[in-house]
Amino acid sequence: MLSSCRSDLRLVLALAALVLVLAVISLMSGPASITPRQALSGLFDGQGAEGIIVRDIRLPRTLLAILIGATFGLSGAALQGLLRNPLAEPALFGAPQAASVGASFMIAYGFAGATSFAVPLAGIAGALVSVGGLVAIAGRRASLTVTLLAGLAFASFAGAGTALILNLAPTPYAALEVAFWLLGSLEDRSVDHLLIAAPFLLASWILLALNARAYRALTLGEDAAASLGVDLNRTRMMVVVGTALGVGAAVAVAGSIGFIGLVAPHLVRRWVGSDPARVCLPTALMGAALLTAADIAVRLIPANPNATAIELKLGVVTALIGVPFFLAMIFRERRLLEGSPQ
């Protein structure tokens, strides 16, 4: 057990180094090309054009990618631990979609500027309804079929809600703004976006990480976990609120981004094994690395400069990678899924 702690530490350090390297690359990436040295000097002394580009434009974007990636990774790991299911992920449960309904309502009707607390609060409210409803419906046995069907229902309903908002948007410009925002992006995010999202994201990490031991005990099922002293109602409540805070705030500043919570824990398991408690910290770092890498990719892949969107959208890229990955996972586990009575 001690040796496993040491190998976990090595993995955590390696992933932290990876996040750091990706962060520097992210500071260098964009329309104006900047060398690593210019990026670092711009970051630390803030002088000249490089200083403005790095500090005011690329740093908030990079930090948001790290924080949001870590949040999605950790909420995936937490939901998988709570529901004892490697296919659990906020996007499959309609959480980002439901958060989008709340946030896009605020944006479309101009109730809130993009940097007001009203957008994340509306996003959190939406995510809370979907994750809370899902955990309530999944119930004691948390059967895979019930969970996924309920998730599908929430996602579809949220999709309809968003479509309704687009449909009834007061102006075509508002509809267009919401439509692009829904695709998910970190382009042109400022320090203000960082400041309104960060408190919610940090609160979500604390709530989700505090239950790591409970996720491990839940390996034995709910009754055995309760008999080991785990307060199941408290754990459920903390995971629901933690996921909603994280996903709601992330969607409010970055739009809909999915599948990090599915991919990150899966990648980490090949090194740390299946223990749902040991997966948490490396998964958060892996999520941060994945989203930062995806956000670098959208800046490097040339998109049509005549189109309205100059960059590829981040949510599009994560879905294009995440969905085939999800299908591959289903394919690999299908015998287990078919054979399972749950």
Partner 1 sequence: MSAILQAQGVGVRLGGVPIVNGADLSLRTGELTAMVGPNGAGKTTLIRALAGLLPFEGRIAINGRALAEISARERARRIAYLPQGNVFHWPLSVADVVALGRTPHADPFSGITADDRAAVVRALTITETETFATRPVTTLSGGERARVALARALATQAAVLLADEPTVSLDPRHQLVVMQLLRDAARAGGAVLAVVHDLALAARFADRVLVMDKGRIVADAPPGEALTAERIAAVFGVEVIPVDVGGATVPVASRAI
Backbone angles phi, psi at 8, to 5 degrees: -60, -40
- C-alpha–C-alpha distance, residues 205 and 284, integer Å: 9
Q: Which of 180, 185, 154 is nearest to 166 (CA)?
A: 180
Interacting span for partner 1 (CB under 8 A) from 30-38, 200-208, 226-234, 238-246: 226-234
Nearer Cβ to partner 1 (179/210): 210
287, 258 contact by CB (below 8 A): no
Residue of the chain from 39, 194, 218, 319 that contacts partner 1 (CB under 8 A) = 218
Which tokens belong to 4? 């496993």
Q: Which is nearer to partner 1, 126 or 276 (CB)?
A: 276
Task: Pick one of 115, 116, 190, 219: the residue that binds partner 1 (CB under 8 A).
Answer: 219
Q: From CA 67, how far away is CA 242, in angstroms rounded? A: 14
User: Nearest approach, Cβ of 70 to partner 1 (angstroms)?
Assistant: 22
User: Could you give the CA distance from residue 179 to residue 201 in angstroms, rounded to a whole number?
Assistant: 24
Cα(210)–Cα(205) distance, integer angstroms:
8
Structure tokens at 144: 């895979």
Residue linked to tokens 């994201």 = 201
Question: Pattern 227-246, binding to partner 1, x per CB under 8 A?
Answer: xxxxx---------------
Which of 16, 159, 213, 271 touches partner 1 by CB under 8 A? 213
Among 275, 297, 325, 337, interactor with partner 1 by CB under 8 A: 275
Out of 39, 131, 201, 217, point to the residue binding partner 1 (CB under 8 A): 217
Given a contact cutoff of 8 angstroms between Cβ atoms, the answer to whether 98 and 126 are in contact is: yes
Q: Contacts with partner 1: how many residues (CB under 8 A)?
A: 24
Using the rule CB under 8 A, is 145 a contact of partner 1?
Answer: no
How far apart are the C-alpha atoms of 176 and 179, rounded to whole Å? Answer: 5
| φ, ψ dihedrals at 207, nearest 5° | -60, -40
Applying CB under 8 A, the span of 16-24, 149-157, 159-167, 272-280 interacting with partner 1 comes to 272-280
CB count within 10 Å of CB 94 equals 28
Does residue 232 contact residue 226 with C-beta atoms inside 8 Å?
Answer: yes
* Minimal distance, residue 239 CB to partner 1, in Å: 16
101-109, 220-228, 256-264, 316-324 -> range binding partner 1 (CB under 8 A): 220-228
> By CB under 8 A, is residue 274 in contact with partner 1?
yes
Nearest approach in angstroms of CB 172 to partner 1 is 50
Q: Does 159 bind partner 1 (CB under 8 A)?
A: no
Write the binding mask 55 to 94 for partner 1: x where contact by CB under 8 A, - elsewhere. Answer: -----------------------------xx---------
Tell me whether residue 1 or residue 307 sits nearer to partner 1 (CB atom). Answer: 1
Helix 144-167 × helix 118-138 angle, to 10°? 150
Residues at the contact surface with partner 1, assessed by CB under 8 A: 1-2, 5, 84-85, 213, 216-221, 223-224, 226-231, 273-276
